[in-house]
Amino acid sequence: MIENVPFTELISAERIAARVAELGAEISRDLAGIDELTVVCVLKGGFIFTADLVRHITIPCRIEFIRASSYGTHRASTGKVMLDHHHDPHVEGKNVLLVEDILDTGLTITRVLEELRGHNPASLHVCTLLDKPSARTTPVKADFTGFTIPDVYVVGYGLDAAGKHRELPYVASLNA
């Protein structure tokens, strides 16, 4: 009997690995000339993507973390983005690459970008693994995007549903 899993694979681990390697190469090429890249990982969802991505970037990196939460344990955006200031990243005068798991409404990244710009970085680029452009309410675009996906709730490869499924090696949509 086939095990009844609560999700359906959308992007395999192999496709993710290949695309992350390509993204690392694109970033290294487009930002060539920079002597150091400050990679700011948006926690928690960005932790696996960031860890894999930086190993494909040939520019020397410094890794920082920022914690943003907008969803709590619900799947609908609360419209409010909370930033954890215990993790204030050191970005003043730095060339920054912000690494997100997913762009949905765009609220979170807009808030984080606003915060980072307030610290006067030398340059600021955004890389997201996943993009759901059809869900956007705030106009924002990533400089580097892994995969464009439809407006479905996804888990795995760092992304959770109420704290679960982050460890899945692939990206999956939750079954209703």
**How far is the C-alpha of 57 from the C-alpha of 139, rounded, in Å?**
28
**Closest CB to ligand 5GP among residues 13, 34:** 13
Q: Judged by CB under 6 A, does residue 127 bind ligand 5GP?
A: no
147 binds ligand 5GP (CB under 6 A): no
Residues in the chain: 176
Q: Which residues pair with 172 in a beta bridge?
A: 9, 155
Examine the residue annotation and report whether 151 is marked as an active-site residue of this protein: no
In angstroms, what is the minimal distance from the CB of 5 to ligand 5GP?
16
The verdict on 70 binding ligand 5GP (CB under 6 A) reads: yes
Nearest to 108 by CA among 156, 134, 153, 142: 142
Q: Counting contacts by CB under 6 A, is residue 145 touching ligand 5GP?
A: no
Q: What is the DSSP string of 78-100?
A: -S--EEEGGG----TT-EEEEEE
Q: State the helix-helix crossing angle for 13-30 and 47-54, rounded to 10 degrees.
A: 60
Cβ nearer to ligand 5GP, comparing 29 with 164: 164
98 near ligand 5GP (CB under 6 A): no
- Regarding 160 and contact with ligand 5GP (CB under 6 A), the answer is yes
